[in-house]
A and B are shown apart, each in its own frame.
Chain A
């Protein structure tokens, strides 16, 4: 029998007598019994060593204690000493304030023995012990999704670059000794170097998904722990020094890939830890920090910047330039990602973070933020930075001055500006207080403002619970609205005279309101206690906030809140809906319309609705909308928000449902309601039960899906192709099919036959400023998905600038991506290439377009009706057609237009549109007939005839 322990765990302790026993107990409770505990005391002065020796005495064969003769001041030396006396075949580390989960050692040993690895690494979980619910926060969990073994760290640089801990690992002791591995002394971040050395030396490394270490984190600890003390510049010096030593190891081994990954991570993470603190620190610190950082970063290759988010690269670049004026706003965006902090600058059709450094080629590259699309957003979708420039208190009134950045002049000089400051309690914001902003005016690249707020008199907090108040400035510029927080930075808040406050409950809960800066750098106010009586009361209240009575109150509050949430949860709503179905009467003449899940007023439901209006039929039209604000719906219809109570009630009582995609699958339909499913396009890709994902569903899941499909009473088809594909895929019996064609396509058929300019198309052209003397080409690609089904971000498959340069004088390109995607066109192509993705209805765009470029979008079936040229830009057909879903037919064999596989081929086809028209006229006709023979221009009329009849009032047009 092997007498050596399987694993020795080295527990280091320094002045932590209180928690040491818990750590050791977690080792003695390991499911793997053959574990040795070595306690290494760093010469504590609080009796930790005595505790350690008594633990050793209690478990003589499993626990030993050693003591360093002098305090080493770090974690490294005690671990080194522990390794020196360890007897186990493997070694692990534990800090006295942490614990190991019961199966940690067993999982480590099993992986080590099975794979014969020198080093096994597992998941570490950080537990925030002082958070309200012991929040757990796994450490780089994406590294540990599955078990894997690598022969060299070069195969998985991320392991070294991100998970720099030494404690979540199990080392073969022979390996540590033969490689001469030891922790460095007298320097912070010893883990980084030790882990890097070990990972580089290891012959084989295994990663396991098991949680093998519990790291207890105290966020609110009075004294910040070593790794938290970023303020001190020495820390940064140590960090850089450790990185330099690791770089030397990598250089010795010529591991350039690892070095690059580490450089990128340094810019993205390490540097950011310090940058975040810069706005709060003085110039001297900033300068010293910048020098040290510059010296180190300057050696990084440009490739290190390639993988960074633009804002990371911008910050690093501006730091190198020591351009504080531009860096401080950039750091604000680094901390608050949604913010636009700089006025931005447009040069030569590109958008830049700032107007400086643009003569430097690297600056031009790094500062180019065109792709972020800032310039395409209206003010409503922007969060401009609002910097507090002045803070004073006079007679209980707070006088605030600030400046809101005006990116690219989005707030025009003549705009009517109004604003108010909103104060809202951070926790449980049941109440808010609003105060008008007196002055608001343009000043250079900003809008400056001033507000005098009678806080002492008007802000009446409860006194408990709502002790922190956040502030937003709500700005309105010509009806465009945005809300901004006030960035305090290092604005001086300290010297102003104190503000008194009168809480509603009692002045004894708090008597002062003090300004403070939140973690994200924003101004907030906190209730504080100054008078002695108030302080005593506060202490009492705090104590009782944890007493039985208060806890009962909290429980009641939580229960009430949970009850409210539950009442408005999807499950309850569905239950209530089923009750409504049974209890409420059907309202004759009501029709609930929905298009693309409420996204738009568009498509066939709209066409049917318009036909009803034209006839003046006495129906009540109710439209469903998604999102916060309905946009583009007519004035005279009733609007209900999708999933709201009113929506459910409208559906429950409607006589008709008309939509093109599907009402929530879980909502049943009563038999008295007629559901007309217009659908929204003929199919190229496999759909419904023809999709592998649906085929693989379990029996109950398939039955539930079928039930939701069985709600359709009628299903509109454009042709027999739809019958063969969609009707089969959704298992819709023949008698439910409406062979009328798509109502939305009536306009297309009419346009083909009359050749008159369409009014809606003309309207759009005018609105977008399109010159109709030049041909308009619509580019409408469909979306692409990752193998898992997640939608991929849109990237132009051709160079849009090159396109504009070549064709800009001859034609206008409209770009409409699938509604899953968003694009940001550079200003350089303005007027020549126009993003129309946001247009609610596509039919007028089809009417406007003299030609279409698409790949595999179902719009090809509709556009074919117009008999205008189409070009198929099928650059990735093989990949697209053979992905998990598959297609119903081979598109490339049937395209009614030229197929372009490259940018050059696409441009060639576009130069000769009239040739395309001539060559493909016959095939276009065949294609339209094959895939949409029922689209004859009277679909809406036939559907309304059948279900609603002609109005008594008759046709008024």
Chain B
């Protein structure tokens, strides 16, 4: 086995959220296998995440402050806007300096080194840097459809076209990007973020949701679904973990739907496993996802999931009808119906929960780390 130099280059080293959790975990896994891992962030995080005690990897951040974005201007005007042009030239110059620092780091890499670009924004710097001799793996941590809704779609097409491998989360996502003309795609799943020793007892009449209170997580649709199912299942409670910019409007919606009696706003949680142990059903109502860690964690805890089938990653993790239930995206009534099924049937919950706990082992950290090392070897052939 080769010990490699592995560079992660991300927007930030540790911005609170799923990507940083994933990066921290995978960096640890690869360190444990004897590789020398470094994480390089372009900009400092806005809300930093705790990387834990003694992370087994080095970290670096290229900019002391978040660098400005390019100024989008109509083409004709851009030529006349001298001030704008000067600012843009300065920005590019600063970028090149930062890329030079990156190049210096990369040059320390021994043969067989790997550069993993976690997010496409970071790729803009990697593209300017000297990566000669190293393999470059670009990543997109969201579904193809969700990328389509943002400027990232075009940026993935532009900046990842030349990397050795563009890594998506599922085969389905990889195929869709291939259909856009990228023929360097592949896929690797996210590893289980935790492997709790004991499953949830599934005794509490609680449906749990874990996620930021943002538009993406679709809590508004969850409340609508809950309004349909709650009267049919008295005694059950919906416990919503998380904080975010939509807290106030969501609470107003909850009140106007008359759900204050059955919905709990639990705030942000630091101990997801504990929250899951206090629940019997997990629900996710997102508008877009990649390979959702929250569902992986719930299943690892033996908590059966009901979710909108909003991304290939979701249907890759949950096998509908076997170890969880899916509803068509945005169809709140259908989400209510599948919740109703799980809430009304303890045997079904137990059976699906146990199957989930077992089947989700295919994303065990060791397995995923093996896949990563296999990919490095394959790209060398």
Contact = CB atoms under 8 A, between A and B. Distances in A.
A695 B378 contact: no
A6 interface: yes
10 contacts: A32-B381, A102-B183, A104-B183, A146-B171, A208-B178, A210-B178, A692-B331, A696-B218, A698-B288, A886-B334
Nearest to A693: B330
Contacts of B218: 695-696
A952 interface: no
With a 10 A CB-CB cut-off, give which of B175, B178, B186 has the most chain A CB atoms: B178
Contact of A211 (B171, B174, B183, B378): B183
Interface string B194-223: 000000000000000000000100100100
With a 10 A CB-CB cut-off, give which of B175, B179, B310, B381 has the most chain A CB atoms: B381
Contacts of B329: 692, 696
B221 A695 contact: yes
A109 B186 CA distance: 13
B328 A884 contact: yes
B333 A886 contact: yes
Contacts of B186: 110
A209 interface: yes
B97 interface: no
Contacts of B288: 698
B246 to A, nearest CB: 10
B287 interface: yes
B69 interface: no
Given A210-B178, A211-B183, A695-B332, A34 B310 contact: no
Interface in A13-48: 31-34
Contacts of A33: 381
B164 interface: yes
Contact of A696 (B164, B174, B183, B330): B330
Interface in A650-705: 691-699, 701-702
Contact of B287 (A6, A103, A698, A884): A698
B149 interface: yes
B144 to A, nearest CB: 12
Contact of B149 (A210, A695, A698): A698
Contact of B215 (A209, A691, A698): A698
A409 interface: no
B172 interface: yes
Interface string A691-731: 11111111101100000000000000000000000000000
Nearest to A787: B328
Contacts of A102: 183
Nearest to A103: B183
B330 A692 contact: yes
With a 10 A CB-CB cut-off, give which of A6, A145, A698 has the most chain B CB atoms: A698
A145 B178 CA distance: 9
Given A110-B186, A698-B287, 18 more contacts: A34-B381, A101-B183, A104-B183, A107-B183, A110-B378, A146-B172, A208-B178, A209-B179, A692-B330, A692-B332, A695-B218, A695-B330, A696-B287, A696-B329, A698-B150, A698-B215, A886-B331, A886-B333
Given A31-B164, A886-B331, A696 B171 contact: no
A71 interface: no
7 tightest A-B CB contacts, nearest first: A692-B330, A695-B330, A696-B330, A699-B215, A146-B175, A103-B183, A209-B178
B155 to A, nearest CB: 16
With a 10 A CB-CB cut-off, give which of A110, A691, A701 has the most chain B CB atoms: A110
B184 interface: yes
A710 to B, nearest CB: 18
A6 B183 CA distance: 19
Contacts of A691: 330
A886 B225 CA distance: 14
Nearest to B149: A698
A500 B164 CA distance: 62
A833 B332 CA distance: 42
A902 interface: no
A103 B378 CA distance: 13
Contacts of A34: 381
Contacts of B174: 147
Q: How large is the interface on B (under 10, 10 to 19, 20 to 34, 35 or more residues)?
A: 20 to 34
Contact of A884 (B172, B178, B184, B331): B331
Contacts of A694: 330
A101 B183 CA distance: 9
B184 A103 contact: yes
B381 to A, nearest CB: 5
A210 B183 contact: yes
Nearest to A700: B149
Contacts of B328: 692, 884
Contacts of B150: 698
Interface string A739-753: 000000000000000
Interface string A86-104: 0000000000000001111
A954 B186 CA distance: 76
Contacts of B378: 110
Interface in B153-204: 164, 171-172, 174-175, 178-179, 183-186
Contact of B175 (A32, A109, A145, A698): A145
Nearest to A210: B183
Interface in B329-368: 329-334
Contacts of B179: 145, 209
Nearest to B329: A696
A102 B174 CA distance: 18
Contacts of B334: 886
Contacts of B381: 6, 32-34, 109
Contacts of A109: 381
Contacts of A147: 171, 174-175
Nearest to A882: B334
A429 to B, nearest CB: 31
B149 A701 contact: yes
Contacts of A693: 330
Contacts of A31: 164, 184
A489 B218 CA distance: 63
A654 B330 CA distance: 38
Nearest to B328: A884
Contacts of A211: 183
With a 10 A CB-CB cut-off, give which of A695, A698, A702 has the most chain B CB atoms: A695
A702 B218 CA distance: 13
Contacts of B330: 691-696
A24 to B, nearest CB: 20
B350 to A, nearest CB: 28
A701 B148 CA distance: 12
Nearest to B286: A696
Interface string B49-84: 000000000000000000000000000000000000
Contacts of A209: 175, 178-179
A692 B381 CA distance: 46
Nearest to B171: A147
A872 to B, nearest CB: 22
Interface in A881-899: 884, 886
A31 B166 CA distance: 14
A698 B153 CA distance: 14
A853 B218 CA distance: 40
B132 to A, nearest CB: 16
B134 to A, nearest CB: 14
A102 B162 CA distance: 11
Interface in B107-150: 149-150
A482 B329 CA distance: 48
With a 10 A CB-CB cut-off, give which of A107, A692, A701 has the most chain B CB atoms: A692
Contacts of A110: 186, 378
Contacts of A702: 215
Interface in A139-193: 145-147
A702 B329 CA distance: 16
Contacts of A103: 183-184
A884 B164 CA distance: 40
A472 B251 CA distance: 68
A225 B150 CA distance: 46
